[in-house]
Amino acid sequence: MSTIEAKQFDRGMRWIERLGIGHLRRKLLHGVNGRVLEVGAGTGANLPLYGRSTQIALIDIKPDRLQLARQKSEKPNTPATCANAHHLPFASNQFDVVVGTLVFCSIPQPELALAEIKRVLKPDGRLLLLEHTRGHGPISRRFTDWLHPLWFALQGECHLNRETAVTVQEAGFTLEHNSVHGYGLLQMMKASVNR
């Protein structure tokens, strides 16, 4: 059984979808194929967007959210594992694509997670991210920096002003695509591994 928390989280995420993030998810995942790992998959908002031939594995640190993702999935056998992105429970060189949406804001040590993602990706694998980040314009940057301490104190998980694109590059990835959306607050990144 999924908990009340997971159901409330799911309802909250549906509001975020209504703000228009859906088309960015579709753009991020368009044409994704092969063996895919989604980190921080939550209640499975991206599941309907993967092609039929894609072999997906999900991880999240919260088992109840994964349980809800399983209940909603058209493929009830989708492997969904409760795990911390800091220590991925997979052998090296396994995945063609690793996906993360709205997750690097809350992973405590993003550099550890990125090292793990690099390890499990095949040499020609790709990392696809859609993240909210530190604002890109002078106003949005000031807004995220200003709001972050209160926001983090209230919910203790999500960082409003991370510079995820910089962390991704420092972790040994090359950004092939990096676009800014949502008033400078959302970033779509497609990266390959530096080998």
Ligand X SMILES: C[S@@+](CC[C@H](N)C(=O)[O-])C[C@H]1O[C@@H](n2cnc3c(N)ncnc32)[C@H](O)[C@@H]1O
What minimum distance in Å lies between the beta carbon of 112 and ligand X? Answer: 9
- Runs of H (alpha helix) within 122-191: 138-155, 164-170
Answer yes or no whether residue 185 interacts with ligand X by CB under 6 A: no
Binding mask 80-109 for ligand X (x = CB under 6 A): ----xxx--------------xxx--xx--
User: Which residue type sits at 147?
Assistant: L
Answer yes or no whether residue 61 interacts with ligand X by CB under 6 A: yes
Burial class (CB in 10 A: 0-12, 13-18, 19+), 189: buried
- In the complex with ligand X, the residue whose CB is nearer, 14 or 142, is 14
**Residues linked to residue 97 through DSSP beta bridges, in sequence order:** 36, 126
What minimum distance in Å lies between the beta carbon of 101 and ligand X? Answer: 4
Query: How many other β-carbons are positioned within 10 Å of the β-carbon of residue 5?
Result: 11
- Is residue 130 within 8 A of residue 28, CB to CB? The reply is yes
What is the distance between the alpha carbons of residues 7 and 116, in angstroms, rounded to a whole number? 29
- In the complex with ligand X, the residue whose CB is nearer, 84 or 140, is 84
- In the complex with ligand X, the residue whose CB is nearer, 89 or 137, is 89
- In the complex with ligand X, the residue whose CB is nearer, 12 or 172, is 12
The encoded tokens of residue 59 equal 């991880």
| Residue range at the interface with ligand X (CB under 6 A); choices 27-35, 38-46, 73-81, 178-186 | 38-46
Residues near ligand X (CB under 6 A): 13, 39-42, 45, 59-62, 65, 84-86, 101-103, 106-107
